[in-house]
Amino acid sequence: MFIKRLSLKDYRNYKYTVVNFSDGINILFGKNAQGKTNIIEAIYLCATSKSHRTSSDKELINLEKSEAHIKLTVNKKGIDENVDIHIKKNNRKGIAINRIPIKKLNELLGIVNVIIFSPEDLGLIKNGPKERRKFLNLELCQLDNIYYYNLQQYQKILKQRNNLLKTLKKTGKIDETINIWDNQLVHFGTKIIYKRKEFIDKLNLIINKIHSDISGNKENLQIEYEKNVNDGNFKQKLENNLDKDIRFGTTSVGPHRDDMMFLVNGIDIRKYGSQGQQRTAALSLKLSEIKLVIDKIDDTPILLLDDVLSELDDERQKYLIHSLKNIQTIITCTGVEDYIKNSIDIGKLYKVNNGEVALYELPYKNSNSSH
């Protein structure tokens, strides 16, 4: 699959722009704060219905306007599909697929499959559990509508239970409805746990080979799923922790407390790994995602690289660039020197300046670039 065309109207710092992409490697370059990442964000929005940078839709609209429009055309095995998103300041956003409005956001998932890689992702291993759960949820929601539904239900129930816990703290009385929320939490939570375990098991089948190659056959990488609870003890743990939960007004156990451990040669690199090891593991994770998505959807996802190459050393740069073959890649950077140095075959090159995107003459002639 590849994106053919993206148009933005009154989106962030763009008044109106249209970008026609190559099905190969596309580079958007320019100084900082010109709007490069806004294009990545708009594509991500068309894939997931959400921004990877903010939870507020209002921030996506040009400051001088009251609404914004995004239109994206993606080609999937020779067939074009169109995603239109209409964002309003005072109303929920509207989404249409092939000009037909959708009623639920999960109808969008799977139309455009993207994998995003930014400098923040290099910190995925050393950062807190919340970031790793976010990674799990974002990837699984794109690949599995049922997971998306179960996660939504779980989060709604968790919020209701936490609200009830705060009320119980004030009244000092146990409300029988807590048992209803507990049963619902266990019902949806166990489904989430099962899917996460399945996803991590599949990642492990792929990631060790990739990581071994990047590290020059010096390191073995294994991911372990650190479940906070399992389907056998979830209900019991909720009951055992009820007094504590009431005291703090929050639910202390469940898959919303899960984590992933990354073991390199048996050592937990979240705590004891070097920055180089952590970054290599993060790169291995992203490249494994590509393979996993290809296996799942029988098509290639779109890779979004947001100013990440400059954060990698030469060896990791070369490995990443070598992995870009046969997959549409949209890259943002401040300069194209690293890509020229690594002899990358650029399909299209764009200069981004103050919310305007202009096709730029390639710095060298590509023999195989696609337009």
The two three-digit tokens of residue 251, written as one number: 């639910």
Residue 197 assigned as binding residue: no
DSSP one-letter string for 137-150: HHHHHHH-HHHHHH
Distance CA 320, CA 322 (A): 5
Residues facing residue 354 across a β-bridge:
none
The two three-digit tokens of residue 67, written as one number: 């609404």
pLDDT tens for each residue of the chain, 371 residues long: 999 999 999 999 999 999 999 999 999 999 998 999 999 999 999 999 888 888 888 889 988 888 999 999 999 999 999 999 999 988 889 999 999 999 888 889 889 999 998 888 888 899 999 999 999 998 899 889 899 999 999 999 999 999 999 998 888 777 788 999 999 999 999 999 999 999 999 999 999 999 998 888 889 999 999 999 988 899 999 999 999 999 999 999 999 999 999 999 999 999 998 888 898 899 899 999 999 999 988 999 999 999 888 788 888 888 888 888 889 999 999 887 766 666 678 889 999 999 999 998 866 555 444 44
Give the H/E segment covering residue 90: none
What's phi and psi for 119, nearest 5 deg?
-55, -30
Residue 37 assigned as binding residue: yes
Side-chain half-sphere CA neighbours of 278 within 13 A = 19
Residues 6+ apart with CB under 8 A from 287: 210, 320, 323
Residue 202 assigned as binding residue: no
Distance CA 37, CA 119 (A): 12
Specify the long-range contacts of residues 136-141, CB closer than 8 Å, at least 24 apart.
Answer: 136/196, 136/199, 136/200, 136/258, 136/260, 138/48, 138/52, 139/199, 139/289, 140/195, 140/196, 140/199, 141/48, 141/106, 141/109
pLDDT reported for residue 371? 44
Q: What is the DSSP code (8-state) at residue 231?
A: T
Closest-CA residue to 119 (of 279, 335, 293, 281): 279
DSSP one-letter string for 21-42: --SSEEEEE-STTSSHHHHHHH
Side-chain half-sphere CA neighbours of 31 within 13 A = 3
Q: 29, 338 in Cβ contact below 8 A?
A: no
Spell 87-110 as b/e; 16+ CB within 10 A means b: beeeeebebeeeeeeeeebbebbb
Residues 6+ apart with CB under 8 A from 221: 207, 208, 211, 212, 262, 263, 264, 281, 284
Residue 30 assigned as binding residue: yes
Side-chain half-sphere CA neighbours of 101 within 13 A = 4
What residue ranges define each of the domains in the chain, with the CATH number in brackets? 116-298 (1.20.1050.90)
Residue 183 assigned as binding residue: no
Residue 68 assigned as binding residue: no
Spell 6-28 as b/e; 16+ CB within 10 A means b: bbbbbbbbbeebebebbbbbbbb
Residue 218 assigned as binding residue: no
Residue 94 assigned as binding residue: no
Give the H/E segment covering residue 111: none
Spell 123-139 as b/e; 16+ CB within 10 A means b: ebbbbeeebbbebbbbb
* Count of CB atoms situated within 10 Å of the CB of 354: 11
What sign does the dihedral 191-196-202-204 (CA atoms) show? Answer: negative
